């Protein structure tokens, strides 16, 4: 009898390496698929392929999904200035849905009826992967060896090494997920509340001691130029901005938040491009959007980020919010000036034809050109009328 085929979401890390070996022993032909949302270059993909085959995978495939990931997700996170708990730009959590879609497409391509991932039972990714598989292909059987066996990292290492490999303990001290929108780093110090990550745990270290000016040009909310250089796609611009930020060790932080499964979670991350773009975009919006556009964008963006983080991408309201966010970007045009320093950046100012700080009408605290002092007095009377009536009727509330 032929073996059943199973498609494994493969990153090449400890968990998915364990899965290749284990699933073979369970009688599966393992087809490893790596969906690249910005975390791997060509050399790293070649190494993944070599490792997958050495561990017994029947096939290996890598799919570059960066452009779709940007078009269907990242641009909306940028439009919405989405930072979970005002900190985390959803660097990795936003990738899982789009990886899941590509994995299911591959299952259909090769006729596989089983799919596997290396998520544990204590994190968010299990829900994101399983939720996508259930929403789009409930006929597919999901297999999760790490979760089902409640394995520790040490147990996985021992299993791999007992099969003739040499997986070193230090590789397992931290769980690292790299992507276009940033890198997450979890383990050891992030498992408790007291300590931050040590310098050696970060993937990128400060290489520059000077400061440098940077200009980011936006067109309808999307970043199109760095220092006057136009890029082929926003994905290329994000990669270049990441390089610039990593050289200054910009974008490091620790995120603390509520997980989908109800426990608190803590993780470190490096996301220089995401943080610089979001903060630059937010500053430009402060100049180019009305008060009420800004107000309602914040409400909807918070919901959008929460649903994306919790794997609810397929909820139809997400398409409605995306429509609002896109429509809000028509006047978000101009250049934002930043200054990069070791470990931080600052926002300097903006230039925009859509800048609502238009001196034709006045300069705050200096001059009023579109109204008189008498106009202001009359406005203040009407503006205060409701409060005046309330305290006249209820003087004891003063």
Task: Provide the pLDDT for residue 1.
Answer: 60
Among the residue ranges 160-164, 365-369, 378-382, the one predicted with the least confidence is: 365-369
Mean pLDDT of all residues in 40-62: 96
Q: Extract the runs of DSSP E, i.e. beta strands, from the chain.
A: 5-9, 29-36, 59-64, 114-116, 141-143, 175-179, 182-186, 212-219, 222-226, 229-230, 252-258, 264-270, 334-341, 344-351, 362-363, 367-368
Assess whether pLDDT exceeds 80 at residue 170: no
Phi and psi at residue 293, in whole multiples of 5°?
A: -60, -45
What mean pLDDT is reported for the chain? 95
Assess whether pLDDT exceeds 80 at residue 169: no
Task: Provide the pLDDT for residue 360.
Answer: 73
Task: Provide the pLDDT for residue 2.
Answer: 79
Mean pLDDT of all residues in 229-257: 97
Task: Provide the pLDDT for residue 230.
Answer: 97
pLDDT, tens digit, 9 for 90 and up, residues 57-77: 999 999 999 999 999 999 999
Mean pLDDT of all residues in 45-55: 97
Mean pLDDT of all residues in 154-183: 88
Among the residue ranges 196-200, 218-222, 371-375, the one predicted with the least confidence is: 371-375
Distance CA 75, CA 89 (A): 12
Task: Provide the pLDDT for residue 367.
Answer: 75
pLDDT, tens digit, 9 for 90 and up, residues 270-328: 999 999 999 999 999 999 999 999 999 999 999 999 999 999 999 999 999 999 999 99
Domain boundaries, the chain: 5-174, 178-351, 362-397
Which tokens hold the place of 202? Answer: 């970060």
At 172, is the pLDDT very low, low, confident or very high (cuts 50, 70, 90)? low
Distance CA 123, CA 130 (A): 12
End-to-end CA distance of the chain: 85
Assess whether pLDDT exceeds 60 at residue 171: no
Distances (CA, A) of 142 to 59, 292, 338, 389: 19, 45, 46, 64
Question: May I ask the CATH class of domain 5-174?
Answer: alpha beta
| Residue written as token pair 């045009």 | 333
Kindly report the pTM of this predicted structure. Answer: 0.94
Assess whether pLDDT exceeds 70 at residue 362: no
80 close to 300: Cβ distance less than 8 angstroms: yes
Task: Provide the pLDDT for residue 15.
Answer: 94
Q: Which of 117, 106, 89, 129 is nearest to 305 (CA)?
A: 89
Assess whether pLDDT exceeds 90 at residue 149: yes
Distance CA 277, CA 244 (A): 13
Query: What is the percentage of the chain residues whose pLDDT exceeds 90?
Result: 89
Q: Which of 234, 254, 243 is nearest to 194 (CA)?
A: 254
Among the residue ranges 71-75, 81-85, 368-372, the one predicted with the least confidence is: 368-372
32 close to 10: Cβ distance less than 8 angstroms: yes
Task: Provide the pLDDT for residue 148.
Answer: 96
Sheet holding 114-116, edge to edge: 59-64, 29-36, 5-9, 114-116, 141-143
pLDDT, tens digit, 9 for 90 and up, residues 85-137: 999 999 989 999 999 999 999 999 999 999 999 999 989 999 999 999 999 99
Which tokens hold the place of 385? Answer: 């009328």
Distance CA 314, CA 301 (A): 16
Which tokens hold the place of 262? Answer: 């109800």
Ordered alpha helix ranges (H), 262-340: 272-288, 291-309, 317-327
178-351 belongs to CATH 3.90.1150.10: no
Contacts of 286 (CB under 8 A, 6+ apart): 294
Which tokens hold the place of 363? Answer: 């300069």
Strands 59-64 and 29-36: parallel
Phi and psi at residue 71, in whole multiples of 5°?
A: -65, -35
Assess whether pLDDT exceeds 80 at residue 365: no
Distances (CA, A) of 304 to 90, 297, 298, 317, 360: 11, 10, 10, 9, 37
306 close to 296: Cβ distance less than 8 angstroms: no
């Amino acid at each position: 009898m032929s073996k059943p085929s199973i498609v494994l979401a493969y990153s090449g890390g400890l968990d998915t390496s364990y899965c290749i070996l284990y699933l073979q022993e369970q009688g599966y032909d393992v087809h490893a698929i790596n969906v690249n949302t910005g975390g791997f270059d060509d050399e790293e993909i070649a190494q993944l392929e070599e490792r997958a085959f050495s561990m017994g995978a029947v096939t290996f495939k890598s799919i570059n999904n960066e452009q779709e990931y940007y078009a269907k997700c990242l641009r909306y996170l940028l439009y919405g200035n989405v930072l979970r708990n005002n900190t985390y730009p959803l660097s990795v959590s936003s990738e899982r849905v789009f990886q899941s879609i590509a994995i299911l497409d591959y299952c259909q391509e090769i006729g596989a009826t089983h799919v596997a991932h290396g998520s544990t039972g204590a994190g968010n990714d299990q829900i994101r992967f399983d939720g996508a598989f259930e929403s789009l292909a409930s006929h597919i059987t999901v297999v999760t060896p790490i979760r089902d066996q409640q394995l520790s990292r040490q147990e996985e290492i021992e299993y791999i090494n007992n099969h003739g490999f040499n997986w070193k303990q230090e590789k397992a001290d931290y769980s690292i997920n790299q992507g276009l929108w940033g890198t997450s780093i979890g383990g050891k110090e992030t498992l408790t509340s007291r300590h931050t990550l040590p310098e050696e745990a970060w993937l990128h270290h400060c290489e520059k001691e000077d400061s440098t000016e940077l200009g980011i040009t936006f067109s309808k909310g999307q970043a199109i130029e760095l220092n006057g250089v136009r890029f082929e796609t926003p994905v290329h611009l994000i990669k270049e901005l990441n390089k610039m930020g990593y050289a200054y060790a910009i974008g490091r932080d620790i995120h603390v938040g509520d997980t989908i499964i109800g426990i608190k979670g803590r993780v470190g991350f490096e996301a220089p491009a995401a943080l610089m773009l979001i903060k630059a975009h937010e500053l430009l919006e402060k100049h180019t959007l009305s008060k009420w556009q800004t107000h309602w964008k914040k409400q909807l963006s918070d919901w959008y980020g929460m649903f994306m983080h919790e794997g609810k991408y397929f909820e139809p309201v997400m398409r409605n919010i995306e429509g609002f966010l896109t429509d809000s970007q028509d006047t978000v045009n101009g250049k934002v000036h930043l200054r990069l320093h070791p470990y931080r950046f600052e926002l300097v100012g903006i230039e925009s034809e859509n800048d609502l700080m238009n001196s034709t009408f006045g300069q705050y605290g200096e001059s009023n050109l579109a109204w008189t002092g008498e106009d202001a007095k009359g406005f203040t009377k009407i503006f205060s009328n409701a409060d005046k009536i309330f305290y006249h009727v209820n003087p004891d509330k003063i």
